[in-house]
Structure 1
Amino acid sequence: MKIISAPSPLGLWANVRSVGAFNVAYSFVALWAFVKVLRALRWRLKTTQLRGPPRTSIIYGVSYDLALSQDRGRMYERWATEYGVAYMIPSVLGQTRIVLCDPRAIAHFYARETWTYVQTPLSLALLETSMGRGLLWSQGEDHRRQRKALTPAFSNAAIRKLTSVFYDSAYKVKGAWDTAIESSKDGDAVIEVQNWMNHVSLDTVGIAGFSHDFGSLDGKRTSVTEMFDSTFRANQQSSAVNRVFILFASAFPIITKIPTKRMNMFKNFGVIMGEISNDLLTRSRREKDMNMSGGDEEKSIIGLLVKSEGQDAELHMSKEEVVAQIPDILQMKVLLLAGYETTSISLTWALIELSRHPDVQTSLREELLAFGADPTYDQLKANLLYLDAVVHEVLRLHPPVNEFNRLAAADDVIPLSEPVRTKSGEMTDSISIAKGTSITVSSAAINRSSAIWGPDAKEFKPDRWLTEDGISEKAKEVQGHRHLLTFVDGPRTCLGKDFALTEFKTVLSVLVKNFVFEMRDGPDTPVEIVRGILPRPRVVGEDGIGVPLRIRRYE
């Protein structure tokens, strides 16, 4: 007879515990799924269901197509032509985004940013990891308070005092290029200009913002330049993996907590920025303590931040906020994006476009030479109309940041300037937005839209800025600086806009007045977009971010 022993009390209890743990886990999963279903039903009921392109991938929707595209703005514009000024696009794992291509809708959207429309969880995670909880990361009242504390450093009076710094950097470039041309037998030299524009912007930000000379124009290697180079190489070496990582992280931001190579890169970026911030902050505090006798009101960025630490300051910021802000401003939001990216990218595009259009380059040089001496800050703003036209045409065609994605933090109704057809076939002149809806605005699409700017919207034509009818009535409906979304609009309008424009005009005026630029391989040389921190131009066939131009002195 087979004897079956009774289970031990400990074994029985272990089984009960395992079953209990399974039930708890199952309950949590069921609850999570139930909440997701409820949210999806609510979103579908409260959000106007719009037409849009079909998904090209079950997993990615159309997101992977956008990630691979050399010109996302053109894709968004094509869809707007087919589906109307507001439409839906399928995104990762069944998600949906609403794209706005209508000036009235975009004005409504930007007016409510940081409150009704906020950063996506993915953006917040990446910003916090790499840059801290500074101005870029903050929302609502925190953003308003921090921005108000920083605004005086970007006033006309403050930028006027910094114009000489911009000229100093521009003339350092001139001196280096003169030397390169003198050593050439042919009276010209092939110079890779994008790295030079990086150095100009970085040194300018360092001196004007923090009274710190990074010395990159003098050939010094810094942690910032090394970090940029390593970041770009890492992005290029694993671009396909990076795209997939970001696409899935948009659906599951928790993925950013996984210690992947890319996330470690973001963390290292944050560590280096923190070291630079602490060094600048310590030095500024020391100088403040040594100069207690008063003097001129402090207008430098770092000086303003140190001042804001005082307990008696009207707009007090915590030590953590102060440390986060030091690399997180100057148009510039962060030292790298500002000093290395946005302005240097725009300057590079300006030299490319002038090389492609020698007639425009000649007209600009004639205006600058006729003016004579280096223009002052006020003259740069008001007296050089063709320089202003060239600068804004570059910013129109090549905005450094191509698109913005936000999340609705509350239900809303967005008005449209023209009706669109919904999925059900009805026409509507407004769209309902449910809390949790993803919204996309493409600055590149709006800046270059043929429907908004006319049939020559894709052409480089600075003359459009010089006549009253050069800007179409539809373009004038775009509420942004000079009817562009390059500096966005609303509460997050670029704080360093005037700084960036003055630096742009100063550097360009010195270079164009002294040198003639040509594409090394002719005006039809193809240029592609490569993705680093931000999209950058590169001559096809070059390594890294190479933009080699043939440069000679203007005699």
Structure 2
Amino acid sequence: MGLASLPIVPLVAALLAYWLFKVASFFYRSWTSAVRCLPGPPCPSFVYGNEKEMYEGGTALLERWVERYGPTIHLQSFIGMSKLYTTDLKALHHILMNSYTYQKPEWFRYRLEEIVGKGLLTVEEDTHKRQRRIMNPAFSASQIRELGPIFFEKSLELRDIWEAEIRKQGGGGTIDVSLWLNRAALDIIGLGGFDYKFSALSGGENSGKLHHAFAETIANFMKFSPVSFLRAAFPALRWLPTRAGNGAEAAHKIMEDIGRQLIDAGKQAIYQSRKAGQNTLKNKDLLTILLRANMAADIPDNQRMSDEEVNAQIFTVMAAGHETTSTATTWALYALMKAPDVQKKLRNELLQVPSDSPSVDELNALPYLDAVIRESLRLHTPLPLTFRISEKDDVLPLSTPVRDTSGKTHESIQELHHSIRKGQMITIPMTPVNEDKTIWGEDRLEFRPERWECVPEAANAIPGVWGNSMAFFGGPRACIGYRFAIIAMKAMLFSLIRAFEFEPAGPVEDIGKSFFIVHRPFLKSDPEAGTQLPLKVRLYHKM
């Protein structure tokens, strides 16, 4: 029997032809997109497009492009693919509110799933709607209020550690605040999220296993390799072995095993409470509230989350909540370090509170603390950009008309009867909107909390879920844990600003922002050291 007569050959040929057709169709749609008719910067490389210069130039470069070409522009991505970039608030509102039409790109979801599984960050459409509906009670304002003691327990523990270290250094010394805030945020997420003691601040027995497994998984995600790119971009190549290898798989298995243990313990506690015939359950952590909502009698079986989905939510909370909280609080201290008058004014407000552990309501009643948080998140949004892809053709409305390369002006980007083709990549800017001169004025880059006493009218059109900013996104995919992050930030700043004064530990110009996934601080003089923010910290003494 000849090779050509084997049944496998025509099957392979058919699959190869289908795959080539799909790839060709993908590139054809991109290369013939109407978005290419929009103004935009020249493309320096067919292979990298504008991506490399965006990575190197950061959001400052994007701002210069918008000033030159307008709020809605065309950028070129890898291998000549087109990308729409817009800071137009009407367009952004349309994109964020229509989450079924504009979704995370499949390659991005795949990479996130390698960390958190099929949780709220990665699922789309009805699955996302179902998961979020069940999770909402765990992130309500009343539930976050219950977690207040946990926020302050860890904030005060951090304060005491710093005080002991500073006293060793004679009342003042240099502390890498990024490192310690990362540990404090992890402890807060562990206790408040799923009643788990990481003991990251104290270096206790639980600070190793899950913490290190999670850290290794995140580190593997942050590393770029050609194989990881190919696996993400082309599903047919996901059989390729990754450089991370068995170490990453072992780390992920540790995370899954501990997650299952937490779920089993939580469900058992709920069963015992029900068996007792009364509400004897004292656990207030988010996982317990989620499990109780998921086990409610009035939820149809087909609407419940599976244990695998619940497990994914644990690491979704860890990845998103921990990173957001620690990074945002780090940048808040950076902003206060650069503005001693603001720091002093904030401290004076905080010292009016008689207790070291006020309630969440008392914390929220501090207007200048609230303004400092809003202004810090406006200028130092942890996540500067994100991405969407259109799942169908759609007309994208604009508040600012755009003039295409032929000189024609459009109220929306029109291509026949549709403005956006299915498969169109779109960049959603958070930081550039938060720093938009047309919204915030000429002093937009100045850290000035007083601006929140009279919010610019134009800021009311920003489609964010909180604080007239894009810090926590907007629409049905807005950050479900934004209340958790805000109160955790307030609690840590409350404890630290009352106790310490913060000053630069070196040239302020030496502090840079990384531009990968989140904006992390690093020292330009020592980039190989990675994320760090050393500040000079002194004990505050009342006069």
- Report the TM-score, using the length of structure 1 for normalisation: 0.86
Q: How does 1:167-316 map to 2 (within 5 A)?
A: 167-184=152-169, 186-220=170-204, 221-227=207-213, 229-230=215-216, 241-242=224-225, 251-262=233-244, 267-291=249-273, 292-293=275-276, 294-295=278-279, 300-308=285-293, 310=295, 312-314=297-299, 316=301
Specify which of 408, 425, 445 is matched with residue 390 of structure 2.
408
Match of 1:335 in 2: 318
Would you say the 8 A contact 1:93–1:251 is kept in 2?
Answer: no
Match of 1:536 in 2: 520
Q: 1:269 to 1:491 in 2, by over 3 A?
A: farther
1:535 shift after superposition: 3.5
Distance of 2:294 and 2:43 partners within structure 1: 51
Distance of 2:34 and 2:425 partners within structure 1: 11
1:355 shift after superposition: 1.3
1:437 shift after superposition: 0.9
Q: 1:224 to 1:90 in 2, by over 3 A?
A: same
Distance of 1:246 and 1:399 partners within structure 2: 27
Match of 2:416 in 1: none
Q: Kindly provide the CA deviation profile for residues 484-505 of structure 1, in whole angstroms up to 9, marking residues without a partner as x.
A: 1110000011111111111111
Match of 1:356 in 2: 338
Would you say the 8 A contact 1:63–1:92 is kept in 2?
Answer: yes
Amino acid at match of 1:192: D
Match of 1:546 in 2: 532
Amino acid at match of 1:502: I
Q: Percent identity?
A: 31
Would you say the 8 A contact 2:175–2:534 is kept in 1?
Answer: yes
Whether 1:380 and 2:363 are equivalent positions in the alignment is yes
Whether 1:166 and 2:166 are equivalent positions in the alignment is no
Would you say the 8 A contact 1:407–1:438 is kept in 2?
Answer: yes
Q: Give the stretch that moved more between structures: 86-95 or 368-377.
A: 368-377
Whether 1:50 and 2:38 are equivalent positions in the alignment is yes
Q: 1:424 to 1:250 in 2, by over 3 A?
A: farther
Specify which of 462, 465, 476 is matched with residue 491 of structure 1.
476
Q: Give the stretch that moved more between structures: 34-43 or 78-87.
A: 34-43
Whether 1:105 and 2:91 are equivalent positions in the alignment is yes
Would you say the 8 A contact 1:105–1:416 is kept in 2?
Answer: yes
Whether 1:67 and 2:51 are equivalent positions in the alignment is no
**SS of structure 2 residue aligned to 1:141:** helix
1:551 shift after superposition: 1.2
Distance of 2:332 and 2:26 partners within structure 1: 47
1:28 shift after superposition: 5.1
* Larger Rg computed on CA atoms: 1
Would you say the 8 A contact 2:31–2:82 is kept in 1?
Answer: no
1:46 shift after superposition: 7.1
Amino acid at match of 1:520: A
Q: Give ranges in structure 2 of 5+ residues lacking alignment.
A: 414-418
Whether 1:455 and 2:438 are equivalent positions in the alignment is no
1:107 shift after superposition: 0.5
Match of 2:459 in 1: 475
Would you say the 8 A contact 1:302–1:326 is kept in 2?
Answer: no
Q: How does 1:385-464 map to 2 (within 5 A)?
A: 385-431=367-413, 432-464=419-451
1:254 shift after superposition: 4.4
Q: 1:60 to 1:230 in 2, by over 3 A?
A: same
1:273 shift after superposition: 2.4
Would you say the 8 A contact 1:235–1:531 is kept in 2?
Answer: no
Distance of 1:373 and 1:552 partners within structure 2: 22
1:89 shift after superposition: 1.0
Q: 1:521 to 1:315 in 2, by over 3 A?
A: farther
Distance of 1:93 and 1:485 partners within structure 2: 30
Would you say the 8 A contact 1:520–1:548 is kept in 2?
Answer: yes
Match of 2:125 in 1: 140
1:518 shift after superposition: 1.2
Amino acid at match of 1:434: R
Q: Give the stretch that moved more between structures: 479-488 or 320-329.
A: 320-329
Q: Kindly provide the CA deviation profile for residues 410-468 of structure 1, in whole angstroms up to 9, marking residues without a partner as x.
A: 111111011011132211011201111111111111111223322222222212112x2
Distance of 1:235 and 1:528 partners within structure 2: 22
Would you say the 8 A contact 1:190–1:549 is kept in 2?
Answer: yes
Would you say the 8 A contact 1:130–1:267 is kept in 2?
Answer: no
Distance of 1:39 and 1:245 partners within structure 2: 21
1:43 shift after superposition: 6.3
**SS of structure 2 residue aligned to 1:87:** strand
Supply the RMSD in Å over aligned alpha carbons: 2.9
Q: 1:37 to 1:204 in 2, by over 3 A?
A: closer
Whether 1:527 and 2:511 are equivalent positions in the alignment is yes
Would you say the 8 A contact 1:415–1:429 is kept in 2?
Answer: yes
Q: Kindly provide the CA deviation profile for residues 171-197 of structure 1, in whole angstroms up to 9, marking residues without a partner as x.
A: 10111122112222x321222211211
1:260 shift after superposition: 1.7
Q: 1:195 to 1:321 in 2, by over 3 A?
A: farther
